[in-house]
Every structure is written in structure tokens, then in C-alpha cells.
Amino acid sequence: MDEETFLSACFDAYEERLREVARGVLGPYGDVEAALAEARGRIREGGAGVEAWLTTLVAHTCARRTAAGGGPRRAGDGDPARERTVVEVFLAALRMRDPRALAAVLDPEAVARSAHGTVHGAPAVAEGAAAAFARRTGQVVRPALVGGSLGAVAMAGGRAVAAVAFTVRAGRIAALDITLGEERVRDLSLVYPDR
């Protein structure tokens, strides 16, 4: 049995469980069936081989160990799906360059730290994030695990040029740890969920 056939059989065997997971992540208004179809398509196009599956397994085992006190963890809610949703809302507001929408997902006492200094308070963090993104036209922002924390990476010309790790508490982003510069970002441990 080849790898594609094996993974397709596994997908079929666990399809109901995978559907439940998709519902839990996407919520009541998400297109669960489209997500399942896309995931199944990735098997056919070679995007979800055994290596990708094992990588995901190890990454998830590490989210569970850190949540149980087995290592460092910056996110505070303990609900990875909820934390991802908060980060996705922040990134969508960032793409719209909307400081009000950004501030809405930030803790009122949010802090942003970078080599340029520290910014305190949701309004200032939101303004700074929107302005920074507006200056960087042509960049693509992708969700990622940054040093083991939920985060995002800014890509320019296919290269990672900036990264941010988020700390989520009580359903809001409490801190942003920002790394700027291609060389510094290269030194970070980055994991992209769609790879």
C-alpha cells in the first residue's frame, strides 16, 4: 500500500472525528466540509504525507505538554482553538489596517516588545501595528508557531523578514514579542501550519 492510499484510508476511518475537530476550530459558521475536502486534496497532491503527519503529531504533543506544565508556555487561555481564533481575528484586522478592530482583540494593558522598545496599552499597540503593516506593502503575513508560541511571520519575496509571538489571556492578546530583520527571524524556531 502506498503512502497516499494509506493516508486516504486513515482519513476515511477517522472522518467523523476530523469533522468534529473542524467544527471545534471553525465554529458554527465555518465551512467544515470545504476544510475536509481541502485536507483530503492535500493527501492527493502530496501535501500531507507521513512526514507532515508526524510533524503535526509532535507539535501537538509539545502544545499538550506545555499546557500541562511540561515546559514554557506563553499563551494563557489553555484553549488552543480559541487562542488561534483570537490571533486570526488580529491578523484579519491587521490586513485591513484597522486600529479599532486591532484594539478590540487586545487586552487594554497589552504590550508590544521589539528591538525598538516597548509600547504599552491597546490603542498604542494597535496604532503601531497598523502603521507598521501599512509601511510594508507587498508583504504577506502568515500564521506560524514562533518559538513554540502562536504567532505570525511577515514574508517579503518569499523570505521571512519579521515575526511576532503572541501571548493570549482571557480571550485577548496581552503581549506581542516582535523580531525584525531577516537574519534574526532566521534564528527563530518557526513552524508553519500549512506545511
How far apart, in whole angstroms, are the C-alpha atoms of residue 130 and residue 124?
10
In sequence order, the 6+-apart residues with CB closer than 8 A to the CB of 92 are: 101
- At residue 83's C-alpha, the angle toward residues 107 and 74, to 5°, is 75
How far apart, in whole angstroms, are the C-alpha atoms of residue 145 and residue 175?
15
Cell representation of residue 31: 465551512
pLDDT by residue for the chain (195 residues), tens only, comes to: 566 777 777 778 878 877 877 776 666 667 788 888 887 777 766 555 555 555 555 555 556 454 444 444 444 446 777 888 888 888 888 877 777 888 888 999 999 998 888 999 999 998 888 777 766 656 788 888 888 888 888 888 888 888 999 999 888 899 999 988 888 888 888 888 754
Other Cβ atoms closer than 10 A to 50: 10
Instruction: Decide: residue 187, CB within 10 A, 0-12 exposed, 13-18 middle, 19+ buried.
Output: exposed
Residue-level length of the chain: 195
Does the pTM of the predicted model rise above 0.75? no
Instruction: Decide: residue 26, CB within 10 A, 0-12 exposed, 13-18 middle, 19+ buried.
Output: middle
